């Protein structure tokens, strides 16, 4: 699974969670770019991402993630193992 | 109803798509019951609330929430709280967990110290319940406690007063004692729920460390669904009857092909045992007043012969009604509903055949179906669906299936009389029509929340509100109980009027459909008019507010002899009766005078 494929699946997750089909993700996307992305939706987003990719983030990973790019990095790392 | 939100649901999917689901629910224009719920949390409650809203809206309840600041449940309950007062909750949910137990015993404590700690923790909670009851007088739902994730002492945690497991067991017992001795207080059993879900998954620590959730986020849909069942039950949304398939649902095999000797039921085979267990489970619903009916594609004689299998637990007599024919099941279910004067949505449909379930879902979308793969799954699927959640066991519930059966006998008796009045007289009906009194308040409240068809204003009341009108001299309140030679129908009618000078304004007029066409409404009217006269009332005003379900009483006030005062565009009508010339209209029911 390459970064583009991950981004594509992640986009679908974001669109579901925010109920907005116009969301387009880049590596630089952060919570500031999506209106409804607050700390509460963040919980939901992490949960939905874990479900989509059948993996779990650790406490450290969730706390440290800064943007969508880093999220994709972690997902790719896990898939690579 | 959105199928995505019916049990069994995919919790992850609901969490992910909740915005879309909420949008869809809001788009379904429906006059749901509104309900103000205060959530007092000992940990994060946001997702609990958002999930709860979905499940409640799906069952016709439109909640409005007030939420504590993070973990402020105790302060919010114990101290002056202007914003909560202003919100004026109709229901309070206290979301606490083992994380909120401040004094667990330590290994070094003496048994006496352990007992003191138990009392301290318990009174921290019980004080709060007393205070809330005093200040808000509304129902309270309280979590009990889940077990902890770790056991320092291993198994001994459950076997000595210093152990956490022992401590939680004792605390939960104290909570349950409180619940069983206090009306309007209900336990949300997360101890059971977390064990069903799997305690380790329920308590995954990451959700506490990251977000201060006392339970794992993926468990929240299950949590909120279980909670919504209590609320639905309190709001009169419980289902009332089962519509059960026979072949491969109540027994293994096809009675029409295999014959009575060929079907599997009873202790002889593993499969037969599983069906017998299911039948026994269903039979126990009769004790709750839930009706059992058959909805089967079979020749009637074959259906009966299957039910007469000597090793079967359910017998033909256990069913209020048996429909076994070759009509579509959606039609049979509608007929059954009509004959029992119930709404189709009051039934739960149980059938092993996915195609039959799909037909019901398509034709009667508000009638829930129980989905299951195999007989051994069916019992759990029914149980966890929560459609029959018990919050108050009233004597009437227990008697209900007998009453419906008596009704069926009355119907067959009515065919022997040439004239309907003669038939009514032969029923030997007696009514007790009285002011509200304390023992009947739970049943009166229940009726105001579940009567939809014979209900002029469809005004819903909480128990606290009923208590208020009962004690307020500005209101005239009457309940009616009807008995006849076949049995006691229980409390079947409630009217509430508000006095304004010499006029009386009817805020509520309802009657249970199980006593339709018995002239009970006339007996109630006679009694109301006579009480009104004693209270120097000269005119009674009646109000009819149309809903999707109450068309049957559109002309009720007219048939009573009221005259129309006004009608608006929405079809709301106002009626008026001058009591001075009123002539009593009931001639078939003997009203028992009050003995003092």
The pLDDT confidence band at residue B568, using thresholds 50, 70 and 90, is very high
Strand partners, B370: B350
User: Do B5 and B14 form a contact (C-beta atoms < 8 A)?
Assistant: yes
pLDDT digits (tens, 9 = 90+) for B261-311: 999 999 888 999 999 999 999 999 998 889 999 999 999 999 999 999 999
Looking at residue A19, what DSSP letter applies?
Answer: T
Query: DSSP class of residue B247?
Result: B
Smallest CA–CA separation between A48 and chain B, in Å?
6
Q: What residues of A are in contact with residue B18 (Cβ under 8 Å)?
A: 44
**Statement to judge: residues B335 and B369 lie in one domain:** yes
* CATH code linked to domain A3-80: 1.10.1200.10
Q: Both B135 and B255 in a single domain?
A: no
Taking a C-beta distance cutoff of 8 angstroms, is the pair B518, B423 a contact? no
Please indicate, yes or no, if residue B392 is contained in any of the structural domains: no
Q: Find, in chain A, the residue whose alpha carbon is nearest to that of B209.
A: A59
What domain range is B229 assigned to? 3-234
pLDDT in tens, B425-453: 888 899 999 999 888 898 899 889 888 88
**Tell me, what DSSP letter sits at residue B496?**
E
pLDDT range class, residue B596, cuts 50, 70, 90:
very low
Query: pTM of the prediction?
Result: 0.74
Confidence of residue B343 (pLDDT cuts 50, 70, 90): very high
Selected for mutation to probe chain B from A15, A16, A21, A23 (highest B CB count within 10 Å) is A16
pLDDT in tens, B397-410: 656 666 666 776 67
CB-based contact B12 A48, cutoff 8 Å: yes
Question: What CATH number has the domain bearing residue B80?
Answer: 3.40.50.1110
B320: helix, coil or strand?
A: coil
Question: Cβ contacts (< 8 Å) between A63 and chain B: which residues?
Answer: 210
Contacts of B16 (CB under 8 A, 6+ apart): A13, A16, A17, A44, A47, A48, A51
B46 contacts A47? CB cut-off 8 A = no
Query: How is residue B419 annotated by DSSP?
Result: S
- Please tell me the distance from the alpha carbon of residue B323 to that of residue B301, in angstroms, as a whole number: 11
Instruction: Decide if A63 and B210 are in contact by the 8 Å CB cutoff.
Output: yes
pLDDT in tens, B363-413: 999 999 999 989 999 999 999 999 999 987 665 665 666 666 677 667 666
**Phi, psi (deg, nearest 5) at residue B355:** -70, -40
A21 shares contact with chain B (CB less than 8 Å): no
Shared-domain flag, residues B110 and B256? no
* pLDDT over 90, % of chain B: 79
Given an 8 Å threshold on Cβ–Cβ distance, is A40 in contact with B16?
no
Given B174, B206, B234, the domain boundary residue is: B234
Interface test with A, best of B19, B21, B209 (most A CBs within 10 A): B19
State whether A48 and B18 contact (CB < 8 Å). no
Query: Which pLDDT value is given to residue B485?
Result: 80
Confidence of residue B173 (pLDDT cuts 50, 70, 90): very high
Task: Answer whether A40 touches B (CB < 8 Å).
Answer: yes
Instruction: Indicate the pairing of strand B487-500 with strand B475-484.
Output: antiparallel
Q: Do B345 and B462 lie in a common domain? A: no
State the best of B16, B17, B211 to mutate against chain A, taking most chain A CBs within 10 Å. B16
Chain B residues touching A19 at Cβ < 8 A: 17, 19-20, 23
Query: Do B176 and B144 meet the contact criterion of CB atoms below 8 Å apart?
Result: yes
State the DSSP code for B456: S
Examine the domain organization and report whether B488 and B548 are in the same domain.
Answer: yes
Q: Which of B234, B254, B272 is the last residue of a domain?
A: B234
Whether residues B345 and B473 share a domain: the answer is no
Give A47→chain B minimum CA distance, Å: 8
Contacts of B23 in chain A (CB under 8 A): 19
Cβ pair B210:A62 closer than 8 A: yes
Taking the CA of residue B365 and the nearest CA in chain A, the distance in Å comes to: 25
User: Which of B44, B67, B210 would best serve as a mutation to test chain A binding (most A beta carbons within 10 A)?
Assistant: B210
Q: pLDDT (tens digit, 9 = 90+) per residue, A1-58? A: 889 999 999 999 999 999 999 999 999 998 888 888 887 788 889 999 999 999 989 8
B429 with B339, same domain: the answer is: no
B502-530, pLDDT tens digit by residue?
A: 999 999 999 987 788 889 999 999 999 99
Residue contact B16–A63, C-beta within 8 A: no
Contacts of B206 in chain A (CB under 8 A): 58-59, 62
Distances (CA, A) of B262 to B274, B306, B316, B325, B521: 16, 10, 19, 21, 51
Is some CB atom of chain B closer than 8 A to the CB atom of A58?
yes
Supply B270's token pair.
């593993």
The reply to whether B267 falls in a domain is yes
Do B219 and B107 reside in the same domain of the chain?
Answer: yes
Check: CB of residue B145 under 8 Å from CB of residue B168. Answer: yes
Question: Looking at residue B366, what is its pLDDT?
Answer: 92
Does residue B409 fall inside a structural domain? no
Nearest to B91 by CA among B385, B460, B395, B441: B460
Per-residue pLDDT at B203: 97
- The pLDDT, as a whole number, for residue B411 is 67
Residue B78 scores a pLDDT above 50: yes
Contact (CB<8Å) A44/B16: yes
User: Which chain A residue has its CA at the smallest distance from B48's CA?
Assistant: A40
- Residue B578 placed within a domain: yes
**Count of domains in chain B?**
3
Are residues B271 and B219 part of one domain?
no
* Mean pLDDT (chain B, rounded): 92
Interface contact A59-B218, CB threshold 8 A: no
Average pLDDT in the B208-218 region?
Answer: 94
B226 and B325 within one domain: no
CB contact under 8 A, A43 and B217: yes
- Mean pLDDT over B154-172 rounds to 97
Residue B411 lies in a domain: no
Task: Measure in Å the smallest separation between the Cα of B206 and chain A Cα atoms.
Answer: 6
Q: Nearest C-alpha of chain B: how many angstroms from A2?
A: 24
Which pLDDT score, from 0 to 100, does residue B397 have?
60
**CATH code at position B426:** 3.40.630.30
Section A61-68 average pLDDT? 86
Instruction: Mark whether B319 and B441 lie in a shared domain.
Output: no
What are A51's two structure tokens?
A: 């479900």
Number of inter-chain CB pairs under 8 A, A vs B: 40
For residue B5, the 8-state DSSP code is G
Q: Assess whether B457 and B506 both reside in one domain.
A: yes
Q: What is the pLDDT of residue B396?
A: 62
Lowest-confidence region among B57-71, B388-402, B479-493? B388-402
pLDDT of residue B68: 93
Q: Does A63 lie at the interface with B, CB-CB under 8 angstroms? A: yes
The residue among B207, B234, B261 that closes a domain is B234
Q: Is the ipTM of this complex over 0.90?
A: no
The C-alpha of B383 sits at a distance from chain A's nearest C-alpha, in angstroms, of: 27
Q: Which is more confidently placed, B426 or B315? A: B315
Rounded distance between C-alpha atoms, residue B322 and residue B540, angstroms:
44
């Amino acid at each position: 699974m390459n970064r583009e494929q991950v981004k594509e699946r992640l986009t679908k997750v974001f669109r579901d969670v925010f109920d907005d089909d116009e969301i387009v993700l880049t590596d630089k996307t952060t919570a500031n770019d999506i209106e409804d992305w607050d700390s509460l939706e963040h919980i939901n987003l992490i949960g939905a991402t874990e479900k989509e990719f059948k993996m779990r983030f650790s406490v450290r990973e969730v706390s440290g993630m800064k943007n969508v790019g880093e999220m994709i990095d972690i997902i790719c790392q896990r898939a690579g193992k | 109803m959105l199928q995505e939100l019916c049990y069994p649901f995919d919790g992850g999917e609901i969490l992910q798509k909740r915005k879309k689901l909420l949008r869809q629910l809001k788009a379904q224009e429906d006059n749901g019951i509104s309900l103000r719920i205060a959530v007092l949390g000992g940990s994060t409650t946001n997702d609990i609330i958002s999930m709860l809203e979905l499940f409640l809206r799906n069952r016709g309840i439109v909640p409005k929430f007030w939420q504590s600041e993070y973990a402020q449940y105790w302060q919010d309950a114990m101290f002056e709280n202007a914003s909560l007062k202003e919100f004026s909750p109709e229901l309070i949910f206290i979301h606490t967990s083992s994380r909120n137990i401040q004094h667990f015993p330590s290994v070094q404590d003496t048994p006496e110290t352990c007992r003191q700690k138990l009392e301290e923790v318990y009174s921290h909670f019980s004080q709060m319940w007393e205070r809330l009851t005093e200040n808000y007088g509304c129902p309270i739902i309280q979590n009990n406690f889940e077990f902890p994730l770790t056991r320092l002492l291993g198994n001994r945690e459950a076997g000595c007063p210093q152990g956490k497991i022992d401590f939680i067991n004792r605390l939960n017992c104290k909570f349950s004692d409180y619940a069983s001795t206090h009306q309007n207080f209900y336990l949300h059993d997360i101890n059971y729920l977390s064990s069903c879900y799997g305690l380790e998954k329920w308590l995954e620590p990451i959700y506490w460390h990251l977000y201060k959730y006392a339970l794992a986020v993926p468990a929240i849909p299950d949590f909120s669904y279980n909670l919504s069942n209590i609320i639905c039950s309190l709001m009169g949304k419980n289902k009332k009857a089962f519509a059960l398939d026979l072949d491969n649902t109540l027994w293994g095999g096809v009675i029409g092909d295999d014959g009575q000797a060929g079907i599997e039921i009873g202790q002889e085979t593993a499969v037969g045992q599983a069906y017998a267990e299911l039948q026994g489970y269903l039979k126990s619903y009769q004790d709750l007043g839930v009706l059992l009916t058959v909805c089967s594609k079979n020749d009637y004689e074959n259906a009966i012969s299957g039910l007469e299998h000597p090793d079967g637990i359910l017998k033909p007599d256990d069913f209020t009604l048996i429909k076994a024919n070759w009509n579509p099941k959606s039609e049979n279910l509608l007929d059954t509903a009509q004959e029992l004067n119930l709404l189709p949505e009051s039934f739960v449909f149980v059938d092993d055949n996915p195609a039959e379930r799909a037909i019901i879902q398509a034709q009667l979308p508000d009638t829930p179906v129980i989905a299951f793969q195999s007989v051994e799954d069916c019992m759990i699927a029914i149980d966890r669906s929560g459609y029959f959640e018990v919050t108050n066991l009233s004597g009437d519930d227990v008697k209900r299936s007998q009453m419906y059966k008596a009704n069926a006998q009355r119907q067959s008796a009515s065919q022997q009389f040439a004239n309907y009045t003669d038939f009514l007289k032969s029923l030997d009906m007696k009514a007790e029509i009285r002011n509200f009194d304390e023992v009947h308040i739970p049943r009166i409240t229940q009726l105001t929340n579940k009567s939809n068809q014979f209900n002029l204003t469809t005004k819903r009341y909480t128990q606290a509100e009923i208590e208020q009108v009962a004690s307020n001299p500005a209101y005239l309140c009457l309940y009616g109980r009807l008995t006849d030679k076949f049995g006691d129908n229980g409390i079947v009618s409630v009217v509430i009027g508000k006095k304004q000078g010499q006029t009386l304004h009817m805020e509520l007029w309802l009657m249970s459909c199980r006593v339709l066409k018995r002239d009970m409404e006339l007996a109630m009217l006679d009694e109301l008019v006579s009480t009104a006269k004693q209270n120097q009332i000269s005119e009674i005003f009646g109000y009819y507010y149309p809903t999707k379900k109450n068309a049957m009483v559109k002309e009720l006030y007219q048939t009573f002899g009221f005259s129309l005062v006004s009608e608006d565009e929405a079809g709301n009508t106002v009626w008026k009766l001058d009591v001075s010339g009123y002539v009593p209209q009931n001639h078939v029911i003997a009203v028992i005078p009050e003995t003092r």
